[in-house]
Copies of this chain bind each other. A is one copy, B any other.
Amino acid sequence: MTFTIAVDAMGGDLGPRVALKGCINAVQCFDDLRIILFAHEEERAWLDRQALPDAIELRYSPQIVSMEDKPSQVLRRKRESSMAQALMVVADGEASACLSSGNSGALMGLSRSIIKTHVMVDRPALATDIPANDGHFLMLDLGANIQPRADHLYQFALMGDAWSRAQGKQSPSVVLLNIGKEAAKGTEEIQLAAQHLNEAPVLNFQGFVEGDGLYVGNHDVVVCDGFSGNVALKTSEGLIKLMNRNLAAAVRSSLLGRFMEPLAKRLLDKASAQLNPVANSGAMLLGLQQLVIKTHGNSDERAFFYSIEYALQQCRQGVVAGFVQNMDDFDQ
């Protein structure tokens, strides 16, 4: 079976060449992958000169969404953009997932308009799988909803549970990110959400988790407001880079270390490989009827590759269909 993924090549900081490279690497690596790549008309000249694998099909759009475009304007005026057209082939069923590194607000607005939100969901959330001590957990929201109300946090918990079960986890444990474990800690909205979650018989709610417990990973779903979720994820990315640089410098500055550099490098790579996805992957817009993935604005070809690989894995396992089914069940 082959899976088709629609990729918006425009809107990332590094331009469409980087997106194309990531796509080429991905189709060369995965036999069951087909990509429809959407680029702006102006890119036609050089793109048509490329020798592309058969598994990549190019389509040109008359418009692009810029980082400055406001979501409300995009909805009215940019229906012919590469971003909108990539989403439309997913809505039509021609592709199984859409991937873009462009304007987040525009992608959210267009996705809600073109792909539609599940009836149980007021606001889709940015969510991603994060590796932990043992396995991985799903974290949401990561920046789409910076001041969610208690009922939004509650919906995020339902969405996280539905996604985790679709990935095959049994009765996934759900925690709320907070600045303490005691019931009186945190904002009113968090306390209210915890109260709702404690009363929800369908969810395996395990209370609060603090930042230092995130990577201990005794949980399957971490629910948080988009502001602190974004801060936690990006701070982790920055810290991993600093640790890697520190270690490399420590190896180089020691005579014996320099002698042993290949070994040290191998050990370092092994230790941080588990955490690379944190530094590279994008996030999906969870709560829609189909899979939409937002990669970093500064995504390089490796980040595009990782995101395509992630999307493909979810397609193979039928996770989105399972998610929609699980959400439907909550609606009974």
Q: Compute how far the CA of A270 lies from the CA of B254 in the bound complex, rounded to whole angstroms.
A: 10
Q: Determine if A179 is an interface residue (Cβ-Cβ < 8 Å).
A: yes
Secondary structure at the A interface, as helix, strand, loop or mixed, is helix
- Known contacts A264-B264, A274-B246; is A234 also within 8 Å of B215 by CB? no
Report the stretch among A22-30, A163-171, A206-214 that lies at the interface.
Answer: A206-214
Q: Determine if A233 is an interface residue (Cβ-Cβ < 8 Å).
A: yes
- Known contacts A179-B146, A179-B226, A215-B242; is A250 also within 8 Å of B235 by CB? no
A49 to chain B, nearest CB (A): 35
A270 & B242 in contact (Cβ 8 Å cutoff): no
A227's partner among B228, B241, B249, B272 (CB-CB below 8 A) is B228
Interface residues of A (CB under 8 A from B): 67, 132-133, 143, 146-147, 177, 179, 182, 186-187, 210-216, 224, 226-228, 230-243, 245-247, 249-251, 254, 256-257, 260, 263-264, 266-268, 270-272, 274-275
Q: Give the copy number.
A: 2
Residue of B whose beta carbon sits closest to that of A142 = B179
B264 & A238 in contact (Cβ 8 Å cutoff): no
Q: Compute how far the CA of A4 lies from the CA of B205 in the bound complex, rounded to whole angstroms.
A: 47
Q: Compute how far the CA of A140 lies from the CA of B54 in the bound complex, rounded to whole angstroms.
A: 54
B256 & A263 in contact (Cβ 8 Å cutoff): yes
A250 & B264 in contact (Cβ 8 Å cutoff): no
| B residues in contact with A272, CB < 8 Å | 243, 246
